[in-house]
Amino acid sequence: MRRIVLFAALLVGLLAAAAGTASILAGQKAPPITQVGVQVLGPQRLGPLPPVVHPPGNPPSSAKIQLGKELYFDPRLSADGTISCATCHDPALGWSDKGPTSEGIHGQFGGRRAPPVSNAAYSPLQFWDGRSPSLEDQAKGPIQNPIEMGNTHEAMIQTVSAIGAYQSEFKAVFGTGPITVDQVADAIAAFERTVVTTDSRFDRYARGDHNALTKLEKEGLEIFNGKAHCTGCHWGPYFSDGRFHNLGLPPKDPKNPDVGRYAVTKDHRDMGAFKTPTVRDAARRPPYLHDGSEKTLESLIDFYDKGGGKGPNLDPLMVPLGLARHEKAALVAFIKSLDSLNPEVADVKAPALRDLPH
């Protein structure tokens, strides 16, 4: 009798396990947007960036890229003609800004740091919370954000349509017809896909130049890919998994916390989670984290070494690292080796207003 009871218990356990798994499988929905694109295959090795893939709906052309560049630097897209995309995504500041968070129209500050535009072409989702599935979609957002460019799409189109030079350029790129917000976004996105850093000392090392990195930087690479667990999230050529993690940053305003990815998914597991930024060119754009709370690479590494912040819903990937001082120095050295050597990207200068289309 005892054996029968034990056997029955075992059988029930097995069935429960199988049923649980089956229900998980049966309950699977279409892949969430976070699994679209580069992440579908899971973690990838560090290495040079592959060529940019352009969406079929927005093929690039030199004229479109030039138009997009002009629009990117044009402050007239904002309500009062003071804020352009480049105001917060400045090429001279690593395609971000001085932070800690970005200053928009009328001196207003947002709650988050400006994500870098450089290499954003490789990010499957845009914004810190991933609410935009493409650069085209993203480009429309800040224009009508009341604390960024403070405009409306209609007013922006009126402004752009009134500029004669833009009329002819849009006509050349998109054909006849009125200028639309989608065309503006397409042009800006086409330009942003040219802001790609394909060459750094790390990339040269990865391509086989063993002298491209110093001994300390090589140690840093090993630690980045090992004891420091950086590649748990910062993997692949883009040095980002494109996913969302809660690093335990305590909310600056506990009564009105920044919920991060939760605002998009309404999944409590995403509460306070933000997109993994690329590490490429990171040394050029302090401060760090979505709220710009870590001023230097050194303090950022100390933050990770402690296992993150003390806020709730900490990502399970966050554990104390036990890094020695020398290991931290090696990590900083390696991250600096990811600074791009692409002059065509780093040296993009914002044109003066008088040089923009009139």
Residues in touch with other proteins (CB under 8 A): 3, 6, 9-10, 13-14, 16-18, 20-21, 24-25, 28, 34-35, 39-46, 219, 222-223, 225-227, 229, 231-232, 235, 241, 243, 245, 269, 306-307, 315-322, 324, 326-327, 330
Residue 201 CA to residue 17 CA, distance in Å, equals: 50
Q: C-beta of 226: minimal distance to other proteins in Å?
A: 3
- Distance, CA of 165 to CA of 125 (rounded, Å): 33
CB of 260 to other proteins, least distance (A): 14
Nearer to other proteins, 292 or 308 (CB): 308
Residue 31 Cβ, how far from other proteins at the closest point, in Å?
8
Take residue 123 and report the two structure tokens written for it. 């990010």
- Is residue 272 a contact partner of residue 264, using CB atoms and an 8 Å limit? no
Length of the chain: 358
Report which residue type is found at 113. Answer: R
Q: Assess whether 70 carries a catalytic annotation.
A: no
Give the whole-angstrom CA distance, residue 165 versus residue 333: 46
Q: Which contacts qualify for 153-161: CB closer than 8 Å, 24 or more apart?
A: 153/181, 155/79, 156/77, 156/181, 156/184, 157/181, 157/184, 159/76, 159/77, 160/71, 160/76, 160/77, 160/184
- C-alpha dihedral, 294 to 117 to 101 to 107, nearest 10°: 160
Question: DSSP state, 222?
Answer: H
Could you tell me the two tokens for 76?
């007239």
Which position among 70, 148, 219, 327 bears the catalytic label? 148
Token digits for 140? 């429309």
Give yes or no for a cis peptide into 254 (omega within 30° of 0): no
For residue 336, the minimal CB distance to other proteins (Å) is: 17
In angstroms, give the least distance from the CB of 20 to other proteins: 4
- Tokens matching residue 288: 């760090």
| Region of 308 on the Ramachandran plot (φ > 0 left; ψ -120 to 50 alpha; else beta) | left
For other proteins, the closer CB: 103 or 219: 219
**Taking the complex as a whole, how short is the minimal distance between the CB of residue 330 and other proteins, in angstroms?**
6
By annotation, the residues acting in catalysis are 148
